[in-house]
Structure formats: C-alpha cells, structure tokens
Amino acid sequence: MKCPHCGHEDSKVTDSRTVDDTVRRRRECLDCGFRFTTYERIQTGNLVIIKKDMRREEFNHEKLATGIRKACEKRPLPTGTVEKLVDDIETGLLNLGKAEIPSSVVGEIVMDRLKELDHIAYIRFASVYRDFADITSLKREVDTLISGRSPASQLPLIPEGEFNTPDRRKRASPSGRL
C-alpha cells in the first residue's frame, strides 16, 4: 500500500476495525510518518458497467477511486474525503439495484458529487470525461459554475471526530498484527 504522501511502499497498521463488510485500517507510512486510511472489502462482483462501445466490464472500485483521486490531487480537501466520496458513490450504485449500469450514468454521478465538493476537481474530471472539444465549451462550463451556487455551499463530507480513537491506537501492536 503506497503512501499517498511520499509514495513509500511500506506502512504499518495502527488500527483495524470491521464496519459491515468493510475492514478499515489506519496506516502510518514507515518513511515519512504520514497517516492514512484504507478500506478493504469483499468483491461483490454483481455490478457490471456498460461502456460507451457497449462492452461490459465488472465494476472496479479502484478504477473509480483513481479517477476521482486524480481530479482531487493537491486540492485542499480533508484526509479521507476522496475515499468517503468513492464509497458513497459505490453504495449509491449498488443501491440502484441494477445488474448493469452505463458508464455515462457513473460519470454523471461522479461529476454531480465533485461539483458539490470542489469546483476545480469537478472541472478536471469533467474535462477528461466530457472531453471538452475546445476552450469555448470549457469556458461555458466554468461560467455556469460561477453563475451558479457559490462554493461556500460546499459541504464537508467527513463527520467530525470519526477517527479519534487514541485508545485503540495505543493498544495496537507495533508490528500491525491484527
């Protein structure tokens, strides 16, 4: 598991807990000490994405996360925001109760959520996804954003105090054994 801060390959697990069918692990980079969280889940495998060319592909959590992470790179978002967003979107997709979902629907959902979260991340994602033909169509999208809701209405995604578990962390073995 690469450190999102410095890219170092090794991290130790400082806390681990299971919520529903997901294991949440608090990790600490062995190189720079950066703390981050990973989520592990059983592959559900019953959601299929229909791509633009009509090919079918199994829904891939990591692929969705990568696209969103890229769009949010270096944006001033609280730690865990991207993972929370990806989880929310995935849960929303599964809750649609459909076996197959067009990739365009997934793209629209992601853009809607990013628009609420961070306008720069949204424009980044949209410019890749919508493949703006020229600077005029990109400008039109930016103008729509500026004339619309103010960024001040953007909501925090992470509830306060969720990761405050100092007691558990202290008890965790240094080797990160579970």
d(CA 58, CA 46): 8
d(CA 28, CA 140): 43
Q: Which positions from 4 through 23 interact with Zn ion, judged by CB under 5 A? A: 5-6, 8
Cβ at position 127, least distance to Zn ion in Å: 29
Q: Binding mask 23-62 vs Zn ion (x if CB under 5 A, - otherwise)?
A: ------x-xx-x----------------------------
Cβ at position 132, least distance to Zn ion in Å: 35
User: Looking at beta carbons only, is 1 or 105 nearer to Zn ion?
Assistant: 1
Q: State residue 122 phi and psi, 5-degree precision.
A: -60, -50
Q: Tell me if 118 sits within 8 A of 78, measured CB to CB.
A: no
Which residues, including other chains, have CB under 8 Å from residue 144's CB and lie 6 or more apart? none
Size of the site for Zn ion (CB under 5 A): 8
Q: Which residues bind Zn ion (CB under 5 A)?
A: 3, 5-6, 8, 29, 31-32, 34
